[in-house]
Chains A and B, each alone.
Chain A
Amino acid sequence: AQSVTQLDSQVPVFEEAPVELRCNYSSSVSVYLFWYVQYPNQGLQLLLKYLSGSTLVKGINGFEAEFNKSQTSFHLRKPSVHISDTAEYFCAVGGDTGRRALTFGSGTRLQVQP
């Protein structure tokens, strides 16, 4: 069984400040980890993914995430946010080789203020 916990439901931050969105997971199989972004009234867009290899993963729009196996975490970071980063962010875990479905966290709403 797999599960994902996103510890913060909302994160307010000022423009140009750094941000970290936290994600912890549990899984009984090898994991593949993802961050998705959802802008208002849109579908989910893949930000970045960890499948194997380097634990620091870079994605689109200047985001990066670090896979920490010992802490079972995959936190998302950006050194300087823009107003346009205001959106909901979802962490997801995969690894069930049968159906290849993802298990999603409940989401973190990032609110960037001027």
Chain B
Amino acid sequence: NAGVTQTPKFRVLKTGQSMTLLCAQDMNHEYMYWYRQDPGMGLRLIHYSVGEGTTAKGEVPDGYNVSRLKKQNFLLGLESAAPSQTSVYFCATSPTGAYEQYFGPGTRLTVT
């Protein structure tokens, strides 16, 4: 039982490059979230999904896109990376009927 996994763990991109971060969960949770963590700012919600095939914007969605084609996977895409997107990205999941969230180990992204 792996819980929430994130791929890759680290990545360095050049400005303008694109990439996709993968979040996978084996807990059968309906809700999935992408956050970014920056020093002194806590975690900020980028996008979220309340179920397979659904996505919605969070607080800081600009420059990111997401997809949830399968219940267990939630993908975060950067179409044209910018240095301002240098951050640690966390995926989280939550079951129906609960508010607590379960986090993956994070992806550290550097954009030069």
Contacts and interface: CB of A to CB of B under 8 A. Distances in A.
A51 B97 CA distance: 12
A102 B101 contact: yes
A99 B34 CA distance: 12
User: Size range of the interface on A?
Assistant: 20 to 34
A100 B103 contact: no
B43 A104 contact: yes
The secondary structure that dominates the B interface is: strand
A34 B100 contact: yes
B64 interface: no
B42 A105 contact: yes
A107 B41 CA distance: 8
A34 B94 CA distance: 14
Contact of A104 (B42, B99, B100): B42
A111 B73 CA distance: 36
Between A41, A99, A104, the greatest number of chain B beta carbons within 10 A of the residue's beta carbon is seen for A99
Given A100-B99, A101-B58, A42 B106 contact: yes
27 contacts: A4-B42, A9-B40, A41-B106, A42-B105, A42-B106, A43-B90, A43-B105, A43-B106, A44-B90, A46-B101, A46-B102, A49-B100, A94-B99, A99-B56, A99-B58, A100-B94, A100-B99, A101-B33, A101-B45, A101-B48, A101-B58, A102-B43, A102-B99, A102-B101, A104-B35, A104-B43, A106-B42
Interface of A: 4, 9, 32, 34, 36, 41-46, 49, 51, 90, 94-95, 99-102, 104-107
Interface of B: 4, 31, 33, 35, 40-45, 48, 50, 56, 58, 90, 92, 94, 99-106
